A = this chain, B = another copy of it.
Amino acid sequence: MQQLLDRLAADAPRCFGEGKVASYIPALAEVEPDRFGIAVCHADGSVQCAGDATTRFSIQSISKAHALALAMRELSPEEIWRRVGREPSGQAFNSIVQLEVENGVPRNPFINAGALMVTEMLVSQLFMPQQTIREHVRRLSATPSVDFDETVARSEMDHKAHNAALAYLMQAYGNIRNDVEVVLDAYFHSCSLAMSCVELARSFAFLANHGVSPFDGQAVLSPVQTRQMNALLLTCGLYDAAGDFAWRVGLPGKSGVGGGIIAILPRRMCICVWSPRLDSYGNSIAGRHALEGLVEGLNVTPLG
């Protein structure tokens, strides 16, 4: 495995010729583009890595998976799935069309509208939502130093227009009841968490371990919930490139515009790759390429 990771890290620069760093907020645009890290956290909690695996980056949409796991712990499934769907959207991550056609109910929790809805539920349910989200991720990654990047969070709020449009439209349909600014603030803070490949791989290791955190032995989710979450990551985790990712990589995964992607090999490991150059769907090019190489190098994958 270590050899495989070293080889993937060595091969990554081949992908540095294409793609662009996310630039919709200034704080992200400044990231050095030609970086690559990869970390594997096995089901027993042990970690192997290569490249810039301990450099922290903005996890962005990967936080949508943390948030959903927290919501699945804190709220009943009836409450969650009445307010957000479980189907691939067939649209770009930030499309507003589907919301209007389907009465303000987002297609799934991994598009922006759906993650805003999950945040809305957490804001309603929790006493101190932002702090609880941070504690949740600290516990999952067993890394107390994980924290928000306030510069990123503020920059997102300064460029909130598109997410504000999504949130206000859901409010117009009566589906968001909290103040939109409060929901946006909690959402942007979750996205702003700065974590390394190692920390992210650790934070989702429970999805490769029947829902049990290998670090404290506690169940984050039940085995059935774990399978459900992996299914949702497989069908909806990479926006409107989810089908292509399933075709090429075949693992449940979640990407973020910070250049990170996490992927789950059920019952075996969680992998996290990072490389900031993105394709037109907002997914890391070198990251996806490395995951393809990893799956090729493994003998067994979930789909054959």
Contacts and interface: CB of A to CB of B under 8 A. Distances in A.
Contacts of A165: 96, 164-169, 171-172
In order of increasing CB-CB distance, the 4 nearest A-B pairs are A90-B90, A88-B88, A302-B302, A87-B243
Contact of A88 (B90, B250, B300): B90
A266 interface: yes
Interface string A62-93: 00000000000000000000000111111100
A230 B234 CA distance: 12
A108 B210 contact: no
Given A87-B242, A88-B235, A97-B100, A303 B230 contact: yes
A101 B101 CA distance: 10
Nearest to A226: B304
A162 interface: yes
Interface of A: 85-91, 95-101, 107-108, 160-162, 164-169, 171-172, 180, 207-208, 210-211, 223, 226-228, 230-232, 234-236, 240-244, 246-247, 250, 252, 264, 266-267, 300-304
A140 to B, nearest CB: 16
B100 A96 contact: yes
B234 A246 contact: yes
B301 A227 contact: yes
A157 to B, nearest CB: 13
Total identical chains: 4
A90 B86 contact: no
Contacts of A242: 87-88, 235
Given A168-B165, A303-B302, A246 B235 contact: yes
A267 B100 contact: no
Which secondary structure dominates chain A's binding surface?
A: helix
Contact of A243 (B99, B223, B235, B300): B235
A104 B168 CA distance: 16
Nearest to A239: B87
Contacts of A87: 88, 90, 240-244
A223 to B, nearest CB: 7
29 contacts: A86-B243, A87-B240, A87-B241, A87-B244, A88-B235, A88-B243, A90-B90, A90-B98, A90-B107, A95-B100, A96-B97, A96-B99, A97-B97, A108-B243, A165-B166, A165-B168, A168-B168, A226-B304, A231-B246, A231-B303, A232-B243, A232-B247, A234-B303, A235-B235, A235-B242, A266-B304, A267-B304, A302-B302, A302-B303
Given A89-B90, A231-B246, 10 more contacts: A88-B90, A90-B98, A96-B165, A97-B97, A97-B100, A161-B180, A165-B169, A165-B171, A230-B304, A234-B246
